[in-house]
Amino acid sequence: MEEQLLAFLKFLQQEYNYSNNTIAAYKNDLGQFVSYLQDNNSIKNASGWQSIDADKINGYVEYMKEQPYASSSVARKVAAVKSFFNYLCANEIIEENPTTAIDSPKVKKRLPKTLSSEEVDRLLQAPANKKSPKNLRDMALLNMLYSTGMRVTEVVSLQLADVDLENKVLYCPGKDDQVRELPFDQYTKDILGNYMEEGRPFLVKDKDETAMFLNHRGQQLTRQGLWLIIKAYAKEADLSVAVTPHTLRHSFAAHKLNSGSDLQEVQKLLGHANISTTQIYTQLEEAEPAN
- How confident is the model over 177-199, as pLDDT tens digits? 678 999 999 999 999 999 999 99
278 part of a folded domain: yes
Q: Please tell me whether residues 130 and 262 are part of one structural domain.
A: yes
The answer on pLDDT for 285 being more than 60 is no
Q: What is the pTM assigned to this prediction?
A: 0.63
The conformation of residue 175, written as its DSSP 8-state character, comes to: G
The yes-or-no verdict on residue 291 having pLDDT over 60 is no
CATH number at residue 206: 1.10.443.10
User: Is the same domain home to 145 and 84?
Assistant: no
**Cα separation of 282 and 62, whole Å?**
33
State yes or no: pLDDT of 218 exceeds 80: yes
- pLDDT tens digits, 52-109: 999 999 999 999 988 888 788 888 999 999 999 999 999 999 999 999 988 877 766 6
Residue 17 CB partners (closer than 8 Å, separation 6+): none
DSSP result, 217-247: TSSBPPHHHHHHHHHHHHHHTT-SS---HHH
Q: What is the DSSP string of 116-162?
A: -HHHHHHHHHGGGG--SHHHHHHHHHHHHHHHH---HHHHHT-BGGG
Host domain of residue 140: 117-283
The residues assigned a catalytic role are 151, 175, 246, 249, 272, 281
Query: What letter represents residue 66's amino acid?
Result: E
Distance CA 58, CA 184 (A): 52
Q: Is residue 173 part of a domain?
A: yes
Q: For residue 96, tell me if it sits in a domain.
A: no
Instruction: Domain count for the chain, please give it.
Output: 2
Cα Dmax for the chain: 77
Are 72 and 213 members of one domain? no
